[in-house]
Amino acid sequence: MAEQIVILTGAGISAESGLGTFRDAGGLWTQYPLEDVATPEGFARNAGLVHEFYNMRRRDARAAQPNAAHHAIAKLAAHQQVTLVTQNVDDLHERAGFADPIHMHGELMRALCPTCTQSHAWTGDMQTESACPSCDAPGLRPDIVWFGEIPYHMERIGAALSDCSIFVSIGTSGEVWPAAGFAAEARANGARTIELNLEPSNGPFDEVRTGPATQVVPAFVA
């Protein structure tokens, strides 16, 4: 039977495309305290600051290009059964040709209406008075899963983790839950677990290959 591969990516896969990671030196959380910009409480306190944070990241993501690691995963999916779960909110996997990544933490290029709960494509800047294209209510928020909120697509992810024979973690520190528990969950279901990362995260991996994603991911896929 063909291998069923689950790949989990984090901010490290987009680092060489110029997009900031969170916990590395100079990372995003050192510039903006996550409590202020990645929690519902922070948004309620100061929506303008949150929009400033995500407008900057949305502009950066639009200016960035997918790198060799994003392209290698898209190439693998052309001839293997790959479920891609990403913690990233940029669209670099899609722009590298991977059709349907599972964005468990939401997407920079989408807006969520707190009034009618509709999600909309949104590629420009967002302000506190930005209105919902469906119900016209002001107060749109980025369609991002913040700390304390329930990640998207958890059932679909759980099903993929129970069926997979190989689990590959790429560019994530493994510090954010529930994503941090996926490798152990896959291994408990009998999968071989592999980490491709700049440095080992010391998670439950059968194999660890260290180095920049643009080197270790194409080598793994080859």
Could you give the CA distance from residue 37 to residue 53 in angstroms, rounded to a whole number?
A: 7
* Cα–Cα nearest to 173, from 154, 201, 132: 201
Q: Distance between CA atoms of 54 and 123, rounded to whole angstroms?
A: 11
Considering Cα of 33, then 38, then 41, then 47, what sign does the dihedral take? positive
**Shorter beta-carbon distance to ligand BV8: residue 15 or 92:** 15
Minimum distance from residue 149 beta carbon to ligand BV8 (Å): 6
Task: State CA 139 to chain mean position distance.
Answer: 24
199 is an interface residue for ligand BV8 by CB under 6 A? yes
Lay out the site mask for ligand BV8 across 154-183 (x = CB under 6 A, - = otherwise).
Answer: x----------------xxx-xxxx-----
For residue 213, how far is the Cα from the chain centroid? 15
59 binds ligand BV8 per the rule CB under 6 A? no
In the complex, the residues that contact ligand BV8 under the rule CB under 6 A are 10-12, 15-16, 21-24, 27, 38, 87-89, 105, 144-151, 154, 171-173, 175-178, 197-199, 201, 212-213
- Please report, in range form, the residues annotated as the binding site: 10-29, 54, 57, 87-90, 113, 116, 132, 135, 171-173, 197-199, 213
